[in-house]
Amino acid sequence: MKLLASLLTAAALAAPVLPAFAAGESPATKPQAAKPDLAKGEASFGAVCVACHAADGNSTIAANPKLAQQHPEYLLKQLQDFKSGKRNNAIMKGFASALSDDDMKNIAWWVASKPAKPGFAKDKDLVMLGERIYRGGIADRQIAACAGCHSPNGAGIPVQYPRLSGQHADYVAAQLVAFRDGVRTNSPQMTQVAAKLNDREIRAVADYIAGLR
């Protein structure tokens, strides 16, 4: 009996250690996230988004953001935040609430695949101030440089920080004011930065970003 027990113990120790899977599941059958369907994204964008953001995502309305070439993960998060109410906008909540997660993903990846059109700075008196803040921040008030997160050319950092290059100045300024005034609350980092900026500095940064490329 002792010999049998020893043999059984040895066999158990020698057995290969395999990862645990749910019943009926194997590595080959593990569910994988569906890839974005760009054709469906284009159709949904045309049905829901085109009136405000233009057919290729390059909005011609200064109050509405350009979406073309934006990081898709960022766009997806914003749509989810609009739907949940984490980002407060009555118009966008209405549109986002009608979209499924797959719809949002398809739209985000499709519009991100469209090339962004460049913008232009307009206020010569402010653009130099905007450049100083964007590139160097304001050290004595502990305001970080925008370039640290959004990159020197405004391309942003995929997943983490949005692309800003060429974005409408009116839209950027409105978002900075919203962050500063506690209207937009879905980015603690931006709330902290915007809280330290005055109206003139916000207009300057926004105008500089519009011409950034």
Q: Give the chain's domains with CATH numbers.
A: 38-112 (1.10.760.10), 124-210 (1.10.760.10)
What is the secondary structure of 75-92 as a DSSP string?
A: HHHHHHHHHHTSS--HHH
138 strand-pairing partners = 143
Q: What is the pTM of this model?
A: 0.83
> What local confidence, expressed as pLDDT, does residue 28 receive?
54
Q: Collect all residues with Cβ–Cβ distance below 8 Å to 123 and sequence separation of at least 6.
A: 203, 204, 207
Tally the C-alpha atoms within 13 A of residue 208's C-alpha that lie toward its C-beta.
Answer: 22
Q: Collect all residues with Cβ–Cβ distance below 8 Å to 63 and sequence separation of at least 6.
A: 168, 170, 171, 174
> What local confidence, expressed as pLDDT, does residue 183 receive?
96
> What are the Cα distances from residue 105, in Å, to 9, 29, 54, 64?
52, 23, 19, 20
- Per-residue pLDDT band for 34 (boundaries 50, 70, 90) equals confident
Distance, CA of 45 to CA of 38 (rounded, Å): 10
> Phi and psi for 16 in degrees, rounded to 5?
-65, 145
Pair of tokens at residue 118: 């460049």
- Per-residue pLDDT band for 16 (boundaries 50, 70, 90) equals very low
> How many other C-beta atoms lie within 10 A of the C-beta of residue 2?
6
Whose tokens are 């980092």? That residue is: 189
Closest CA to 61 of 71, 72, 53: 53
Q: Tell me, what DSSP letter sits at residue 158?
A: T
* Angle at 65 (CA atoms; ends 61, 67), nearest 5 degrees: 120
Distance, CA of 21 to CA of 162 (rounded, Å): 38
Taking a C-beta distance cutoff of 8 angstroms, is the pair 109, 39 a contact? no
Pair of tokens at residue 97: 């609430």
> What local confidence, expressed as pLDDT, does residue 29 receive?
54
Residue 201 scores a pLDDT above 90: yes
Query: What is the tens place of the pLDDT at every residue in 75-132?
Result: 999 999 999 999 999 999 999 999 999 999 999 999 999 999 999 999 988 999 999 9
Tell me the percentage of the chain whose pLDDT exceeds 70: 85
> What local confidence, expressed as pLDDT, does residue 5 receive?
43
> What local confidence, expressed as pLDDT, does residue 33 receive?
72
Average confidence (pLDDT) over 54-65: 98
Closest CA to 56 of 70, 36, 76: 70
Residue 27 scores a pLDDT above 60: no
Residue 138 scores a pLDDT above 60: yes
Query: What is the tens place of the pLDDT at every residue in 153-192?
Result: 999 999 889 999 999 999 999 999 999 999 999 999 999 9
